[in-house]
Structure formats: C-alpha cells, structure tokens
Structure 1
Amino acid sequence: MRGLPLFFLLLPSVFSLDILMYVNVIGKSHLQFADKLIGVLNKEGHNVDVIMGMLNSIVSLKGSYGARNLVTVQFPGGESPWGSVADHLNNPFVETSNWNPFNMGFTKFIETADQLCDLILDSSSVSSLLSSHHYDVALLTGYDFCPFALAHHYKISKVISYVPTPACHIQNYYGGLPELPLYENMILDAMHGDRSHFHRRVIESLRTMKDRYIHYTAYSSINEKLRARFGENFPDVREIAKNISIDFTNSHPLLEEPKPISLRLRYIGGIGLPTPKPLNKELNDILNLSKKGNLIFSFGTQIDADKISDELQKVFINTFKRFPEYNFLWKFDGKTAMNSSNIFNMKWLPQTDLLYDSRVVAFISHMGLNSFTETSFAGVPVVSIPLFADQLHNARRATSLGTGIMVRKSEITEENLFNALEKILYDEKYLLRANEISTMVSALPDTPQRIFLEGIEFAAKFENLSPHYRLAGANHHFFIQTGWDVASFLTLLFLLLAITTFKLTLLILRNVTVRILWKRKVD
C-alpha cells in the first residue's frame, strides 16, 4: 500500500511519449498552429522534439516553442526561393485563373520543397537528433512527402499527419477519400457555383483529374532523390503516405463542408483557441465612441500595408464613410491618415479579444482558417474578402452557413462592398445565424484537445493501425476509385449495342426494301 502514492506520482512519466514533430513553416499561422499543438502535448507530459523546415523565409522564429530539442533547417543566406517569388504574397489582389486551383505558385512550391528536402537530408543536426533518439510516434506536416520519407528511413513506424488548414491532397488521396465532383474536396479550388448543376460537375470532374495528374507528376522526382540516397529498395513515397495512422486537420466538423470521410481523418479545429482578455483603455474608449457598433478589419499577418494600393485604400475608406454610425478598426499600418472620424488605423489588433466584445458587430476578414474559426466561435458575422490558399474555401463555408457574405478580390468596388456591409449590418438573419453557429460549436460534447491527444496516444500503441482506417480507394487508381472505369465500360457497351442495333436495323430495312422491290418487279 505504501507504494501506491509513488506509483501514481510516476504515472505521467510512465505514459509520456517521445514525439518527433516536423513543421513545414509556410506561413506565420502554420507556426502558430504548431506552437499550440506542442503546448497541448507538453501539458499532457509528452516530450516533443521539433524539426522546423523554413520553407518561407519571411517567417521568423522566436524561442524554442516548448520543444525539448529544436532543429531548424534554412536555405543558405536565409532566403527561400519560394517566399520571394510567391505571387499570392507579392500580388495578393490579382485574381488567378479559375481553371488553376493551385493559385499560389504550386510548381515553385514543389521545387522549393524538393530543395528544402535536400537540406533536411543533408543536415547533420537532423541526422544527429534522429539517430540519438527512439521515437514512439512522428507528427508530420502533411504538405509534402519529405518528412514521411525521413521518418521511414529512421524507422519511425507510427506516423501521424497534421495540417493547419482543411484536409489537403496527401490526406485525401492516400487516405482513400473520394474526390467526387459533388463535393468541394480541393481546398485551393478557385471556382464557384452550385455543384448540383450537371455542367458544373462535368467541369469539376475534369479539374479533379487534372489536379491528380499535377500532383503525381510534380512529386515523382522525390522517389529518384530518395533512392539515389538510400538505395533502390527504398519504397515509393506514396506507399509510405498510405501507411499514415491518423490525419489531423485544423477544420471544425460543424464548420467544414460535409463530405465522405474515414476514421483516419480527425477534425481538431478550434484547438488552442486563445482565451479572450479584457481590452486596454485605448480600445475601450474607441469602442465606446460608436453609436451602433464597431467593425474590425484585417487581412491577416502576411499582407503588408504596401500591398494594398492607394486606389484600393480609397475604396475601403469611401465605403466606410457611408456608415457614419459605425466605427471601423482597420489593422493597417498605424500611421496613414484615413481622413474620416469613424476609421481607426491600427498597427495591430487583439483580434480574439475584440471579437468577443459585444460592441463589435461584424468582421471584415481575409478568412484565414484561424479567423474563420475565431469569428464562428465568437458569433460575429463576417464580410469575407479571400485572397489565396484555403481562404476562398473558408469564405464559401461562411456563406453556406449563412454567417457571412463574400466579395471576390477582383470585385472590390465601393458598391459591392457597401452592399455586403449593408446586408451584414442591417439584415438580422446573419447575426442570428452567427449566434446559432457559435452556440453549436461551443456546445459540441467532444473537444479538439481530447481528439488530438487520444488520437496520438492510441496511434502510438499500435504498429499497423492504418489498414483499419484507410479506405479501399487509396489502393486503386483514381479512375477506379471514382467509378470512371465502370462508367466508361458501360458507356462503351451502350454505344456498341446502339451501333449494333442501328446496323441490324439498317440491314433488316435494306433486306425488306430489296424484297419489296423484287416482289414488285416480279409482279
């Protein structure tokens, strides 16, 4: 009996896991999401070693992020070939082709990821870390194959993927999730429209095939790279991806588009949402000035003020002036004169704290996933101006949920923006729906923290978990997975029968005609 207290004291260390985490630092929000996950794991007593691949050199690191060991891999000189030429950052308000879903320099992203992979594989710090530790599980960003190949090489058999966005192509393709034209599975899709229409489904079917082709061809070089390093017997990276135990996505199940999924895909949207804090005196005083309420306006952390042209600034300013009974708090540069008493130019905004203040009645947002999740939990309706990546997907979701109105970045005019704001502010249905969604997501009995922790701890216990969760479609060609092979066969069969029937009919008619003519001739 005397040993029982000691036993319970030792429980946290007995069940603590050694976890290798790979973070593909594509943007600041990706780093913030990884920081939240590390915090959740540390709080539970798990040890986390982190490799950070600095794909976007614009992002700067601060501290160790709670990692037991932290290894960073950067490009020589700290300049990423992708971040400096990415059109979605340099020209964020230029609309891309609707036919091209990879609207953020996808080819350059793949090239940069390949170069970063070489740096990771060459890194003595990475090899030293992985050679000197035995890991129970690897938690890897699911945007490219390199970290999964690395985990395989160092014999980490229990592998989990995560993304700080809605589910991505690796999670969809290699988990066997069907990309059907009736569902919006491609998060970078730039197209709009009701997919219940036949012509839209035709376009989406063709686009889906094109996307698969781009994915398979773009990543084919990594197999050659890995086999040149580790030998011809190194497995196809796609086979490695099929054996992922669990995929985590930052989507929330009540905010994401309903679609076919498997138990391998787990929603953890809302994990680590910051707790709102009281506002400082300056912000309190500003919020008290408005007669009817306040709106906050932000394009996030990646769009600098100099990317918003003078012409576009005038559109926003002139539109906001048309709502004199409301104040607009704009996260801009903190110094440019707005020449309007109801517009406050702020260098920085405590977004979460403001969204949970009852004096804030609406949000104008680029609809990054964090912003979408925060405004949904806070119950604040939104005017969405999506710029790139998954922001368009998130804006469409807010529109479908009835909590927001979207203005395309190519259609930002005073009239369009005024109409959107007028509906959000004066049509009560948006606020009522936002409050309803807020109540629903807050009342969901399961929590993203529990789903995340229990998923990792369960996956760490079992060697061959993946086959139980992976859908059969992962083992088949895209045409088989979507039923195109059967549809093609039946179509050909129908055409063959139609042609045969047509020819037989012609033959019969010809014979009948010949007989009739012969009979007439004889008569």
Structure 2
Amino acid sequence: MLDEFLENHRDALDGLKEEKFDIVFAEQLDLCGTALKEALKIKTHLWISSCPLMDHMAWILGVPTPLSYVPVVGDMDISDKPSYIERIWNIIEYIGDVYVYKQGISEITQIYRKHYGENFPDAEQIARDSPITFVLADEFLDFPRPILHNTIYIGGVGIKNNTKGLPEPYKTELEKGKKGVVFFSLGSNANTKNIPYEFKKNLFEAFKNLPEYHFLVKINEGDLEGEELAKSISNLFIFQWAPQPDILAHPKLKAFITHGRVAERNGWGVTFDKKKLLHGSKEFLEALKKILEDPSYQEKAQRTKRLLSTKPFSSSEKFIKFVEFVAENDGILPELQNE
C-alpha cells in the first residue's frame, strides 16, 4: 500500500513539500508517516505512541526496558511482578516484537528509496532522531518503567474534566439500582456482534443475579443476540453509544467493566480471564462482587482520580509547551537524546 501511495500521490506530496512545514507528527505502529519527514523535507519529526511506549520504540530510542519487571506491550498477560517463567516469555515476546518491527522498518526504507533515491535515510534513523516522543498514556495508569527525559506522557490529552450533565435516557438510567450502577463497555475495538453467544449469555446472567444494581451495557449495532438476551433482564439497559466521561463521573457508578490489567496493579480493579465466561458465570460473578463489596477498590479508585485531577500540569499543557519548546530551539534537542 505504501508503494502505491507514493506512486499515485506524488503530486500531492510535492504540494505538501512546498508548504515548508516546520514539524511533522507521526504515530508508532509503522514508520510510513515518520519517513515522510524526509520526503517532505520537514526539519523536525515528533513521534507519538498511541498507547504505552511500545517495545520497538524503546529499542530505537535507547529507552531501557528491564524485562524482569516491565511487561511488553503486546499479548503477554503478565503484571510488573512476573514469575520466573513469565519473565522468560516476556523476553521471548520482546525479541519477537522488535524483530518483526525491524523487518517492517527495513521494507519501508526500501520502498522510500525506490521513489526518492538510494540516498534516502533509514526510516529507523529518522525515528531515532526525534527530539521528543509523546506517549498517550498516563504515568499513574501505566506500569512503572525507566524513561528518558525527552519521553513525555500526555495520556488523556484533549479530554475535558468538566462534565455537562447526562442527557436522556442515560440520566434516568443512572438513577436506577438500589445499590448503584455498573457500566460495561469494551470500547470501539471489540465488536460485540463477534463475541460468542455463550459469553454474552453468561455475562448477562451474572448481571441478572445482582438485582440491586442496574447495569448499563454498550453493544454494537446489529448485535441481535445481545438485544434478544437483554429483553428478559429488568436491571439491564443496552445502548450503542453513550457519553462515557459523564457516566464514569456519576456518583452512583460503582464499577466499570472493560479491558486494562493495570487497574489491578494499582489496586482499583480485578483481572478476570474473559475465556472463563464461555463456560459459566460463577467466577465472573464472584470477581464482580469483590469489586462491589470491598470498599478498598472505591477508595483507591478515588485516590487515582484525585492524582489525575490535581497533577501540576495537564496533558494538553505539556503537549503544547513541549512542541513550542522544540520549535523555539531549532527543532532539535541533542542534549536529551540517547546516542
């Protein structure tokens, strides 16, 4: 696709080059955008990780990654206190991740050299020369790890802390439930239409067994199985979209069921193996009761909320200030870069 893009859109790229931009931002999943820095003759490239600092980024930038306690950003289901066997698998996963990305980076470089000449620099070197790397994660929600001074965490950038109040029908639904409300959402990455029927059946069965709580469940459009299962459960409200920040800020919310194991590490969540819901709801129900009945989870969640809301600088402030800082200093920061 990159080859076709460079072939078919050369005029558009030449037009962008004429704009003489000072800075280009590119994400981390591949280096197609990163290499545009050189193709468009833009002086400065700022790298952005859309998740916790990925392993190939740390490798390229020279960020230390002690695999004895820093889990890889991949499919490994481990915490920052892994067993001996988990550490071995963590090392294997890290080597595999870095190798695969390096192979892809090499291919990207060759494609750019095909269109821009053999002297086109290595895409990996372009990324390595980035004066600043922005990480769209929060220090208080990520696993503790070493970073460099030019690694800036901006998790939640653009999110406003002030809520506007819930529209209907969410306002009414949040008032239900004698003991409170539980919110279930897998975000936009997991389509509930593709989740096995038994999983949804057992999930909803667990909700039905907690009648003193009201459950708000996000499903995808066309999830007919989910819609049918929900009809017989009185303490369940399904929807396809909702104002999530406003729901999470509501005082009656008692639990949020989603993906993200770091919640357990920080003391305000419980990890549950989703595969177990294919075989029944008992273990899931026990995990949910643990969250709802043990006040320590609420207390630690409130502490994390307070930490995030009282940090000296917001993510938006840090992002703007560091971009301006780089621009005002010739677009380079060799003083902060690892050689």
> Please, what TM-score do these two structures have when normalized by structure 2?
0.90
Give 3-state SS (helix, strand or coil) of 1:129's partner. Answer: helix
Residue 124 (structure 1) shift: 4.1
Match of 1:326 in 2: 213
Which of 156, 168, 175 is equivalent to 2:42?
156
Instruction: Decide whether aligned partners of structure 1 residues 251 and 333 sit closer, same or farther in structure 2, where only a CA change above 3 A counts.
Output: closer
Out of 303, 306, 316, which is 1:449 matched to?
A: 316
After superposition, give the CA deviation of every residue in 1:166-199 in whole Å (9 maximum; x if it has no partner). 1224431221112221232521142325645444
The 8 Å contact of residues 336 and 345 in structure 1, kept in 2 or not, is answered as no
In structure 1, the partner of 2:62 is 176
1:204-234 per-position Cα deviation (integer Å, ceiling 9, x unaligned): 3333223222222233222221222212211
* Contact 1:242–1:466, Cα closer than 8 Å, also in 2: no
Query: Residue 203 of structure 2: which of 278, 300, 316 is its match?
Result: 316
For residue 399 of structure 1, report the CA deviation from its aligned partner. 0.6
Give the aligned partner of residue 186 of structure 2. Answer: 299
**1:372 alignment counterpart:** none
Q: Is the 8 A contact 2:136 2:154 kept in 1?
A: yes
Structure-2 residue corresponding to 1:420: 287
- Contact in 2 for aligned 1:159/1:245 (Cα 8 Å): yes
Paired residue for 1:84?
A: none
2: CA distance, partners of 1:208 / 1:344: 41
- The verdict on how the C-alpha distance between 1:253 and 1:125 changes in structure 2, with shifts beyond 3 A counting, is farther
Show the counterpart of 2:151.
Answer: 265
Q: How does 1:233-248 map to 2 (within 5 A)?
A: 233-248=119-134
Q: Which residue of 2 aligns with 1:5?
A: none
SS of 1:219's equivalent in the other structure is helix
Consecutive unaligned residues of structure 1, counting only runs of 5 or more, are 1-114, 368-394, 473-523
1:470 Cα shift? 2.1
Contact 2:48 2:135 in 1 (8 A): yes
SS of the aligned residue for 2:285 comes to helix
Query: More relative contact order in 1 or in 2 (CA 8 Å, sep 6+)?
Result: 2
Distance 2:325 2:86 in 1: 41
TM-score, normalised via structure 1 length: 0.60
Residue of 238, 246, 250 corresponding to 1:357: 250
State how far apart, in whole Å, the 2-side matches of 1:312 and 1:206 are.
Answer: 31
Alignment of 1:114-263 (within 5 A): 115-116=1-2, 118-120=4-6, 122-124=8-10, 126-184=12-70, 186-192=72-78, 195=81, 197-263=83-149
Alignment match, 1:520: none
Q: Which amino acid aligns with 2:239?
A: M
| SS of corresponding position for 1:327 | strand
% identity of equivalent residues: 28
Asked if 2 retains the 8 angstrom alpha-carbon contact of 1:243 and 1:466, the reply is no
| Structure 2 counterpart SS, 1:184 | coil
Matched, 1:344 2:237: yes
Q: Which has the larger radius of gyration?
A: 1
Contact 2:181 2:215 in 1 (8 A): yes
One-letter amino acid of the structure 2 residue matched with residue 224 of structure 1: Q
Residue of 166, 170, 194 corresponding to 1:283: 170
Equivalence map 1:368-517=2 (5 Å): 395-412=260-277, 413-463=280-330, 465-472=332-339
Query: Which amino acid is the alignment partner of residue 315 of structure 1?
Result: N
Residues of 1 paired with 2:235 and 2:111: CA distance?
Answer: 57
Q: 1:260 corresponds to which letter in structure 2? A: P
Task: Say if 2:30 and 2:104, in contact at 8 Å, map to a contact too.
Answer: no
How many residues get paired?
330
What 5-or-longer segments of structure 2 have no aligned partner? 222-226
Mapped partners of 1:330, 1:471: distance in 2: 46
Q: Is the helix fraction higher in 1 or 2?
A: 1
Alpha-carbon contact 1:193-1:200 (below 8 Å) kept? no
- Distance in 1, matches of 2:182 and 2:94, equals 38
After TM superposition, give the deviation of residue 333 of structure 1 in Å. 5.0
C-alpha RMSD over aligned residues? 2.1
- CA-to-aligned-CA distance 1:273-297 (integer Å, 9 cap, x gap): 1442211243232222311101111
Tell me the distance in 1 between the aligned counterparts of 2:83 and 2:120. 45
2:54–2:72 Cα contact (<8 Å) kept: yes
